[in-house]
């Protein structure tokens, strides 16, 4: 089957332009509804910044996806591997619906947190409900353990971990969005190499939408992702880590299932170290502080811009081996 390179490029560019051009509208709406991040403790901005990024990224993913699916279903456009993609849309219709609704729900949950500063428990319960829905409707992690209870538990735990890792990582301009774009690109390459075109398309859409947002956020922020955006980024990457078949008869390497840990190594390691630090110091792990890897690098004299670029580079170095064949 021909590799649908043109279709992937179109998905990437469509998401990038939708996010880039749509953000001013979401920024205007955020200012009108007072959805802004005010200056305060642990913050370096001196004026309110609109929390518009999450909605711009969601729009950048969903609009091109829906438009592309409609054009393919109506047989309006002809692309390589179109039949395979349409077949996948039909076969995974329910799964895709749940994943799409989950993306909207997690964005709304983050928006509620942005707007009303939810306490940790209701926010965590919302994350759990969404994770359970995804685990029930979609493919689950097994780790070669033949137990449905284990499969549900490890899948829900994975979703919660990655969502909160990116929520924690959203602490400097461009950091969360850049790491999300890198992770989405790697997952898209892995899925495309295995012929899993729907997962690959989702990855390229997400990568494009985040890159379209970055000029508004890095190096100087005119908009933030907000919890709506960081929740969405973590959710989508967690899902994309579950959907591909890392272990197959054609690729019979049991360690291949560890590929997502390489792709998401930077946010996962940051989550682990900051949680450990807070726990050892008798502080609730969900209460923010300045002990993230990014903060520690800045404390050593590295500028914020250089810190973000360094962590992006580290994510590329750690994630690239997951895409190597063999």
Pairing of strands 36-37, 49-50: antiparallel
Q: Mean pLDDT of all residues in the chain?
A: 88
Q: Is 253 among the domain residues? A: no
CA distance 62 to 146: 35
Any domain includes 90: yes
Residue 87 counted as domain residue: yes
| Residue 8 neighbours by CB under 8 Å, 6+ apart | 188, 192, 200, 201, 204
- Determine the average pLDDT of the residues in 83-110: 82
Question: What pTM did the predictor assign?
Answer: 0.92
Domain that holds residue 188: 5-248
Report whether pLDDT(2) > 60: no
In this prediction, residue 102 has a pLDDT band, given cuts at 50, 70 and 90, of very high
In angstroms, rounded to a whole number, what is the distance separating the alpha carbons of residues 265 and 141?
18
Asked whether the predicted pLDDT for residue 250 surpasses 70, the reply is no
The DSSP 8-state label assigned to residue 49 in this structure reads E
User: Among candidates 138, 68, 153, which has minimal Cα distance to 103?
Assistant: 138
Comparing 152 with 82, the larger pLDDT belongs to 152
- Number of domains into which the chain is organized: 1
Is residue 132 predicted with pLDDT exceeding 70? Answer: yes
Q: Which of 269, 260, 257 is nearest to 311 (CA)?
A: 269
Residue 36: strand, helix, or coil: strand
Q: Are 201 and 208 in contact (CB under 8 A)?
A: no
Helix (H, G, I), strand (E, B) or coil at 220: coil
In this structure, of 53-62, 85-94, 288-297, the range with the lowest mean pLDDT score is 85-94
Please check the confidence at residue 133 and state whether its pLDDT lies above 50. Answer: yes
- Say if residues 4 and 49 touch (Cβ distance below 8 Å): no
Residue 307 lies in a domain: no
Confirm whether 321 is domain-assigned: no
Average pLDDT score over residue span 40-54: 78
Report if residue 272 sits inside a domain: no
pLDDT at 1 over 50: no
Residue 311 lies in a domain: no
Q: Pick 316 or 245 by higher pLDDT.
A: 316
- Note whether residue 209 is domain-resident: yes
């Amino acid at each position: 089957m021909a590799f649908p390179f043109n279709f992937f490029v179109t998905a990437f560019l469509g998401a990038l332009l939708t996010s880039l051009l749509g953000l001013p509208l979401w920024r205007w709406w955020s200012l009108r509804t007072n959805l802004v991040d005010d200056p305060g403790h642990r913050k370096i901005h001196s004026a309110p910044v609109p929390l518009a990024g999450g909605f711009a990224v969601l729009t950048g993913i969903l609009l091109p996806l829906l438009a592309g699916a409609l054009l393919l279903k109506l047989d309006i456009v002809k692309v390589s591997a179109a039949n395979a993609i349409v077949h996948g849309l039909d076969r995974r219709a329910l799964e895709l619906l749940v994943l799409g609704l989950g993306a909207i729900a997690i964005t709304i949950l983050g928006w509620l947190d942005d707007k009303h500063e939810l306490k940790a428990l209701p926010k965590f319960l919302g994350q759990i409900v969404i994770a359970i829905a995804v685990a029930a409707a979609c493919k689950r992690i097994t780790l070669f353990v033949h137990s449905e209870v284990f499969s549900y538990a490890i899948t829900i735990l994975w979703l919660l971990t990655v969502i909160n890792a990116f929520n924690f990582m959203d602490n400097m301009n461009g950091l969360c969005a850049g790491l999300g774009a890198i992770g989405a690109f790697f997952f898209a390459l892995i899925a495309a190499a295995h012929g899993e075109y729907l997962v690959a398309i989702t990855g390229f859409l997400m990568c494009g939408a985040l890159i379209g947002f970055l000029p508004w956020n890095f190096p100087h922020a005119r908009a933030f992702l907000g919890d709506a955006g960081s929740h969405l980024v973590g959710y989508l990457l967690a899902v994309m880590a579950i959907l591909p078949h890392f272990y197959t008869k054609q690729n019979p390497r049991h360690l291949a299932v560890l590929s997502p840990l390489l792709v998401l190594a930077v946010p996962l390691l940051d989550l682990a170290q900051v949680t450990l630090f807070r726990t050892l110091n008798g502080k609730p792990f969900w209460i923010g502080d300045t002990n993230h890897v990014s903060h520690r690098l800045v404390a050593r004299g590295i500028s914020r811009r250089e810190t973000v670029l360094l962590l992006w580079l580290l994510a590329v170095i750690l994630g690239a081996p997951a895409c190597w064949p063999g």
